[in-house]
């Protein structure tokens, strides 16, 4: 039996439950890749699994759970049904499956259909900052809200990215402005996070803790056509609905767990969609679409249309993982934090 080092947990709780463990190298399913992990990105889902917030820890049915659902590495083995898309030695990046062990291990098994070719121009650490955020934006805004992949003729439509300095927001600003040709306004509450949003390509920044409608109006913007809401819709749904133009669309990346008044959506024909990155692998709903999205995003990164959102790089240790989790839970993280080399 081959063994590997991993950073895992045998119980739910705070960062004190994280520890270094030794586990068997995972066995492959027919459609899997065995990837030698090189770098791992940090996302809020990691902390939710660690603490079992909203039951997130229940998806992974393992005695020792391993988090980390933004990975980049090198293919070592391929399953019998993978075909010719990937071969040993290929460099890949992926978000993976919430029901399977994550990437904080020397090796991870990932379904080849949800993996993409790593951008050749980026390092493993720079690449590991991308997959989950790219999928969230692409599936939520381009698929869910129907935004064209290329700019339309005429005046640009407008999009508001709530939480623009975060990992998803940072890539959302780029994709919506540089790929889709929208005018993007971001929300941020601190000077440094507002500067980060502008660096990513936001044409304007407003404070989500203040009256957003008044702030948009002061910039000559009566309404926006799209909203990418990375925050909790239970707290901001009504305020965001008020910002949408007729026929506008909002994508929420978190669930609504409280009753909401949908009546204001009717006359203006507003739409609300929800995006869950792990829906496709969990429900086996066209998982190959995620691999295709990541391949396309990889080309956009290599072309210079998009840039990595890596802001902070830490060593792959238990202490650094705990630090990264704490930063994610603080709500003050900008861009992405990546642990590398594994």
My answer on whether 215 and 160 are in the same domain is: yes
At 46, which CATH number?
3.90.180.10
Give φ, ψ of 260 to 5 degrees. -130, 145
Mark whether 295 and 265 lie in a shared domain.
no
Same domain, 199 and 239: yes
Determine the pLDDT at residue 154. 82
247, part of any domain: yes
Assess whether 171 and 209 both reside in one domain: yes
**pTM (2 d.p.):** 0.97
Please report whether residue 100 resides in a domain.
Answer: yes
Q: How far is CA 342 from CA 9, 68, 94, 287, in A?
A: 17, 12, 16, 27
Return averaged pLDDT per consecutive 10 residues of the chain, 342 residues in all. Answer: 97 98 98 98 98 96 97 98 96 98 98 98 98 98 95 88 98 98 97 98 97 97 98 97 98 96 97 98 98 98 98 98 97 96 98
Q: Would you say residue 280 lies in a domain?
A: no
Residue 191 lies in a domain: yes
Distance CA 261, CA 270 (A): 13
Residues 111 and 54 in one domain: yes
Shared domain for 148 and 206, answered yes or no, is yes
| Domain finish residue from 274, 309, 329 | 274
pLDDT of residue 188: 98
Q: How many domains does the chain have?
A: 2
Give, rounded to a whole angstrom, the gap between the first and last alpha carbons of the chain: 21
> Are 94 and 38 contained in the same domain?
yes
pLDDT at 151: 80
Contacts of 297 (CB under 8 A, 6+ apart): 116, 130, 134, 138, 306
Whether residues 248 and 294 share a domain: the answer is no
Domain end point (choices 224, 251, 274): 274
Q: Is residue 279 part of a domain?
A: no
Of the residues 247, 274, 301, the one at which a domain ends: 274
- Tell me, what DSSP letter sits at residue 331? T
Q: Do 14 and 121 fall into the same domain?
A: yes
User: Could you tell me the residue range of the domain that residue 257 belongs to?
Assistant: 134-274
Q: Which two tokens stand for residue 71?
A: 């990975």
Q: Report whether 224 contacts 244 (CB < 8 A).
A: yes
Q: With respect to residue 67, please indicate whether it lies within any of the assigned structural domains.
A: yes
Same domain, 311 and 238: no
Would residue 281 count as lying in a domain? no
**Does residue 8 belong to any structural domain of this protein?**
yes
Residues 143, 234, single domain; the answer is yes
CA distances from 304 to 53, 202, 299 (A): 37, 17, 9
- Are residue 113 and residue 159 in the same domain, yes or no? no
CATH number at residue 223: 3.40.50.720
Which pLDDT does position 153 carry in this prediction?
A: 82
């Amino acid at each position: 039996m081959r063994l590997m080092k991993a950073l895992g947990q045998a119980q739910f709780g705070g960062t004190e439950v994280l520890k270094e463990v030794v586990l068997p190298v995972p066995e492959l399913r027919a459609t899997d890749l065995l990837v030698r992990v090189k770098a791992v990105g940090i996302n809020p889902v990691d902390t939710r699994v660690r603490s079992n917030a909203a039951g997130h820890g229940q998806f992974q049915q393992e005695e020792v759970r391993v988090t980390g659902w933004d990975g980049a590495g090198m293919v070592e083995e391929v399953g019998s049904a993978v075909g010719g898309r990937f071969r040993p030695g290929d460099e890949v990046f992926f978000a993976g499956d919430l029901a399977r062990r994550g990437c904080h291990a020397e090796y991870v098994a990932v379904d080849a259909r949800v993996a993409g070719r790593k951008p050749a121009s980026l390092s493993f650490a720079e690449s590991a900052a991308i997959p989950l955020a790219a999928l969230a934006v692409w599936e939520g805004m381009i698929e869910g809200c129907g935004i064209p992949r290329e700019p339309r003729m005429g005046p640009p439509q407008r999009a508001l990215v709530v939480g623009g300095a975060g990992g998803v927001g940072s890539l959302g600003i780029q994709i919506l402005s540089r790929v889709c040709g929208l005018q993007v306004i971001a929300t941020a509450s601190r000077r440094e996070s507002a500067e980060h949003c502008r660096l990513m390509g936001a044409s304007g920044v407003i404070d989500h803790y203040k009256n957003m409608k008044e702030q948009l109006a002061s910039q000559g913007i009566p309404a926006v056509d799209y909203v990418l809401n990375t925050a909790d819709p239970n707290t901001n749904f009504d305020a965001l609905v008020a910002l949408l133009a007729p026929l506008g669309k909002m994508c929420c990346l978190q669930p609504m767990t409280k009753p909401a008044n949908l009546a204001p959506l009717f006359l203006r024909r507003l739409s609300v969609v929800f995006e869950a990155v792990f829906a496709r692998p969990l429900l086996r709903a066209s998982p190959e679409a995620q691999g295709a999205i990541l391949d396309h995003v990889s080309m956009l990164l290599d072309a210079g249309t998009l840039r990595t959102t890596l802001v902070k790089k830490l060593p792959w240790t238990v202490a650094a993982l705990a630090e990264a989790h704490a930063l994610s839970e603080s709500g003050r993280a900008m861009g992405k934090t990546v642990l590398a080399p594994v």
